[in-house]
Amino acid sequence: MISLFNYPPTEEQIWILMKTGTGSEIGLLWLRILTILLMGIVFWFWFNKLRTVASVKSSVISIILLVMSPAVWGIGWSYPLMVVKLVLVLCVVTFLKTKWWIILLVLVGLGFYNVSFLKQNPAILSKITMSDARNEVNNRFMSEDTLRIKMELPLMWRRIGYNKLFITYRQVLAELLPFFDLETLYFQEVHPMEQKSVVLFYWPEIFILIFGIYFWVTSKLKNDSNNILVVLLVISFIDFLFSNTVLYQRFILLLIPLSLLMAYGVEKILVANRYVGAVVGVVLLYATYVNSYDISKRADFWLDNRPLVYQYWYTGIKPLGVENFEKIYVSTLIGSSQNYCWFYLGDICKTDKFVFNSFNLSTGNIDNGLYAGFAGEFVGPKFKNDFSSDWDSQLPAKDLTLISKENIRDTVAYKYGNDIGLVIKK
Amino acid sequence: MRKKIAMIIVVVTMVVGVALRFTGLDKSPPSLGFDEAALGYNAYSLLLTGKDEYGNFLPISLRSFNDFKPALYGYLTVPFIKLFGLNESAVRMVSALAGIVSLWFLYKLLSVFIKDKLVCSLIFLWLSFEPWRLHFSRNAFETHLSSAFFMMGAYYLIKNKKIFWSLLFFGLSAYSYHSARLSVPALIILWGIDPLRWFWTKNVSEVITSTLKGIKKMWWMVALFVAMVIPVFMANSSLVLTRFNQENVFKRFYPYAPKELVEGNNPFLSINSNALYYFGGIMSGHIMSYFSPINLNSRIYAWVKMSPQFIPGMGMLGWIEGIVFVFGLIVVIKNLRKSFLHRYLIYWMISGIAPAAVTWTWYHPLRSLNIFPAIEIIVALGAVEIIRLVKNKLWYGVIAAVMFVTVVYTINNELLYSAYENHGEYQPGGFREGMMELKELSKDYDQVIIDSPHAQSFIFVLFYQQIDPNIVHKYADIRPKPGIEGNLNFNFEKFVFRPIDWPKDRLLKNTIVWTDDTMSKEEIESIPGAKLRMVVPNALYDTARIITIE
């Protein structure tokens, strides 16, 4: 059974293991432990910084709320480069004064880090170039001009509203509005669109946030405390804007100021009434338990399915014996096949026995060998991604033998189905 | 001087508001939705016979598509149909008027919260062009009428004067749409008891005393309101709750926890995935979704997109308003302790959200329309706070320019682009263009087969051909019974609603067929006796064919 703890490595982890030459399960475990330790050390520094601007109680509660967050664990366990980003930001905020030029440097650094190291392509950059705006303006005019029955509005009037500059402003706003997404932040457990994201905060914590905001705006907090909060909110906002990755990772920096606000709320509740505070604590502990249980049962629901695909293929290839095949073809529909191969099978992946490319066995001649791919690569892609469960019954007609197949939860290769398999052509 | 300028701004805003709401109601949107057609035809039937389409005399609810629409919108449409005939403009007139009245009361409410007249009028000018205001004013929505009455009732309640006016408008609101029947008593109770104060009350006896005072203040209002709406429940008690039975959250999401985690026979006894925990999450999420800026501004859920409440490219509010809303919320939270007005806004939100929160949809603007004036006031408070913080007056010019262009965009989006995007299932088009031709032709034929892919196509026949309601009443008993959802077409007189089966139907005689546009003229005329009489257009493309078979 797949759980968070035995979840296969992510591409980021593979990349680091390749750089350090420690491609094995042990190496992965060490990487994970080191990453968690790194996060722990940073939280410790952050806690000490927080103590200088807020009460000890708030500081402790803030750290506890962060540690309880599944998103923090998810990132700590699988995304070391994201943890490095967290480390860098918290170090700056902890050890340096929050002067405007330092903050500006941090923001520029974040943008550079996201684009260069994390290889993200923030959507907002394409909006600023106005190419999308031009397309939208044209589309609007064309669409409206096709109406046979319509109100006649002067062209000049329409141009005031539909122009590249304004549409760019609108598109930029559309990029920053998702930052204000309560559903992703607090209701991921019951999200109406069942979007793919790890839980950031549990839903009962929304009420603690409301308390926290109330006490923040009505209390006379120290300037330093206010400054830290505002600075972190701005940093997390800019990081969100200039990132392009799985949703919960875009919000990771926002967890810190929100946890601080919630900590204020919890502290005030405890001061007002210990018993109510105890109830809050019990509810949050139960929420943590429920979500831990959920992840233990449905890790593939919460986490990226692509590592599971590679794990299936390569752990399936190994017992068949790599030496028994002239060629082994592995799909590249979902990214860096070769790196995963190296992790599971070692240096043999660098030989020409392995061919890393997507394929289509439904047409043309099929070379002998072992094929690891998606259903659509074996029987042909389908536009609507609607493959029947017995798609493999088509294989014998082409002298193909199915070794094994498995269904994955998410659609990671649209048009190619949710089934993955190992097939031999002799 | 400031007051004079403020008054000019208000007058201009109202005049422009009238123009935007009443101009071109037959062109934008270019076709009716089936709910609009149903409201119109029922109003027509009431005008001519005093009965709805099923023959119910002076009904309190319109059975319509077995959804039992509250009837007030229909009754108020009657004089417009008398004056202008049964057409799109007449049907939408009530909504347009409700939009204008609602606009005026928005100004009155803003005046309660913003004392500076000039600032108030400028913010009023800005908020008057909110996308939802334009969109809902130009479509016939009972909920829009209800929300206008609700707003008027809420205004007089907050002023704590003319309480009877408040009750009257609340009552009218309840007769206009279902959600007011829960929102109104909720608001009155919260207004009377003012429970948020309890957080700052030191001891329990004080809480009890103030609560009892609050109950004394408002119990008679709740009783009077309940008495006013009793006829609604008495008329068709089980059937009126049909809509609730169809849409409530309790059945739809049971057992609430993810199905893969459900253990045992009773999900409420599970420790690992307790149903109550997940149910709490669903309900909390439903409530908080109306405070989530992304929902107010830009996120479109599937059930919104596939419905007449969809505003393409925009949410209910303009894009910047969601962010300003956050500032406004902070202002409200900051003033909760000392200001009843600010607490009232929260009560207004909660009471308006309640009916929507118990339905299965996460965020549903149509069902929660009552809260949007409160949201606008919160946005206004945020704007005032931002104005206070912005010291450099040069920024005002920039903001004004951006707001002006946004208003132009919003108007274009609603009057033109929305007509393009919304054309489809809910606003199918073609019926207006083809029905008169069909009516003329059908005099000489024995049977008219309507094969339309659009839901409830019968209502468009009734509407555009202005079928005598007395004829329709005769068929009430054979129509699909309450509780049945989906396609409710029924055959009447020579009209038959079914798919065409050309291999068989080509042998029919003296028949007219209304069908889709997949067959070419040559294919049609290759059928012996068949003749293509009309290619029926809608606002975008050719949508249907009228074919006669001799």
Any domain includes A140: no
In this complex, which of B27, B272, B278 lies closest to A150 when CB atoms are compared? Answer: B27
B22 to B88, B96, B129, B316: CA distances (angstroms): 12, 6, 15, 20
Residues A201 and A281 in one domain: yes
Q: Does A276 touch chain B (CB under 8 A)?
A: no
Q: Which pLDDT does position B195 carry in this prediction?
A: 94
Contact B30 A149 (CB under 8 A): yes
Any domain includes A169: no
pLDDT band at A5 (very low <50, low <70, confident <90, very high): confident
Which of the listed residues A239, A266, A300 is the one where a domain comes to its end? A300
pLDDT (mean) for B340-369: 93
Contact A182 B539 (CB under 8 A): no
Report which of B438, B545, B434 is spatially closest to residue B500, judged by C-alpha positions.
B545
Q: Does A156 touch chain B (CB under 8 A)?
A: no
Residues A292 and A373 in one domain: no
Element (H, E) at B545: strand B542-549
Q: Which pLDDT does position B430 carry in this prediction?
A: 87
Residues A370 and A318 in one domain: yes
Output the average pLDDT for chain B: 91
Contact B453, B545 (CB under 8 A): no
- Beta-carbon neighbour count of residue B482 at 10 Å? 14
Which of the listed residues A246, A271, A300 is the one where a domain comes to its end? A300
Predicted TM-score (pTM) of this structure:
0.90
Q: Tell me: pLDDT of A239 over 80.
A: yes
At B393, list the tokens. 């007056």
pLDDT (mean) for A346-360: 92
Give the whole-angstrom CA distance, residue A315 versus residue A317: 6
How many structural domains are present in chain A? 2
Q: Tell me: pLDDT of B443 over 60.
A: yes
Contact B425, B455 (CB under 8 A): yes
Q: Which pLDDT does position B236 carry in this prediction?
A: 63
Q: Which pLDDT does position B378 carry in this prediction?
A: 97
Question: Over pLDDT 90: what percentage of chain B?
Answer: 66
Any domain includes A162: no
Contact B408 A160 (CB under 8 A): yes
Contact B440, B17 (CB under 8 A): no
pLDDT band at B241 (very low <50, low <70, confident <90, very high): low
Any domain includes A151: no
pLDDT (mean) for B480-501: 89
pLDDT (mean) for B352-362: 90
Q: Find chain A residues with C-beta within 8 A of B293's C-beta.
A: 177, 180-182
Q: Tell me: pLDDT of A311 over 60.
A: yes
Residues A284 and A411 in one domain: no
Residues A269 and A362 in one domain: no
Q: Find chain B residues with C-beta within 8 A of A213's C-beta.
A: 330, 333
pLDDT (mean) for A255-273: 91
Task: Count Cβ–Cβ pairs < 8 Å, chain A vs chain B.
Answer: 154
Domain that includes residue A395, residue range:
306-425
Q: What is the pLDDT of residues A89-109, one digit of tens each?
A: 888 888 777 778 888 888 888
Q: Tell me: pLDDT of B320 over 80.
A: yes
Residues A213 and A121 in one domain: yes
Q: CB burial class (10 A; 0-12, 13-18, 19+) of residue B279?
A: buried
Contact B412 A158 (CB under 8 A): yes
Q: Find chain B residues with C-beta within 8 A of A193's C-beta.
A: 301
Residues A261 and A359 in one domain: no
Give the whole-angstrom CA distance, residue B229 versus residue B142: 17
Q: Highest mean pLDDT range out of B286-295, B477-486, B536-545?
A: B286-295
Q: Does A150 touch chain B (CB under 8 A)?
A: yes
Any domain includes A231: yes
Residues A121 and A235 in one domain: yes
Which of the listed residues A300, A319, A334 is the one where a domain comes to its end? A300
Q: Which pLDDT does position B390 carry in this prediction?
A: 84
DSSP collapsed to 3 states, chain A: CCCCCCCCCCHHHHHHHHHHCCCCHHHHHHHHHHHHHHHHHHHHHHHHHHHHHCCHHHHHHHHHHHHHCHHHHHHHHHCHHHHHHHHHHHHHHHHCCCCHHHHHHHHHHHHHHHHHHCCCCCHHHHHHCCHHHHHHHHHHHHHHHCCCCCCCCCHHHHHHHCCHHHHHHHHHHHHHHHHCCHHHHHCHHHCCCCCCCCCCCCCCHHHHHHHHHHHHHHCCCCHHHHHHHHHHHHHHHHHHHCCCCCHHHHCHHHHHHHHHHHHHHHHHHHHHCHHHHHHHHHHHHHHHHHHHHHHHHCHHHHCCCHHHHHHHHHHHHHHHCHHHCCCEEECCCCCCHHHHHHHHHHHHHHCCCEEECCCCCCCCCCCCEEEEEEHHHHHCCCCCCCCCCCHHHHCHHHCEEEEEEEECCCCCCCCCCCEEEEEEEC
Report which of A345, A343, A351, A322 is spatially closest to residue A21, judged by C-alpha positions.
A343
pLDDT (mean) for A263-284: 92
Amino acid at B180: A
Kind of pairing between the strands at B530-537 and B542-549: antiparallel
Output the average pLDDT for chain A: 90
pLDDT band at A221 (very low <50, low <70, confident <90, very high): low
Residues A185 and A72 in one domain: yes
Residues A81 and A179 in one domain: yes
Residues A217 and A338 in one domain: no
Question: By CA distance, what is A211's nearest residue in B?
Answer: B333
Residues A257 and A373 in one domain: no
Q: Which pLDDT does position A319 carry in this prediction?
A: 94
Contact B333 A214 (CB under 8 A): yes
Closest approach of chain A CAs to the CA of B297, in angstroms? 8
pLDDT (mean) for B185-189: 96
Q: What is the pLDDT of residues A390-421, one digit of tens each?
A: 999 999 998 999 999 999 999 999 999 999 99
Contact A147 B416 (CB under 8 A): yes
Any domain includes A149: no
Contact B281 A149 (CB under 8 A): no
Contact B26, B84 (CB under 8 A): no
Q: Which pLDDT does position B243 carry in this prediction?
A: 64
Residue to test with chain B: of A148, A190, A195, A409, most B Cβ within 10 A:
A190
In this complex, which of A158, A187, A217 lies closest to B285 when CB atoms are compared? Answer: A187
Q: Highest mean pLDDT range out of A324-328, B150-154, B323-327?
A: B150-154
Any domain includes A118: yes
Q: CB burial class (10 A; 0-12, 13-18, 19+) of residue B483?
A: exposed
Any domain includes A257: yes
In this complex, which of A161, A206, A217 lies closest to B405 when CB atoms are compared? Answer: A161
**Which residue(s) pair with B511 in the sheet?**
B447, B549
Q: Find chain B residues with C-beta within 8 A of A203's C-beta.
A: 280-281, 284-285
Q: Tell me: pLDDT of A2 over 60.
A: yes
**Which residue(s) pair with B537 in the sheet?**
B542
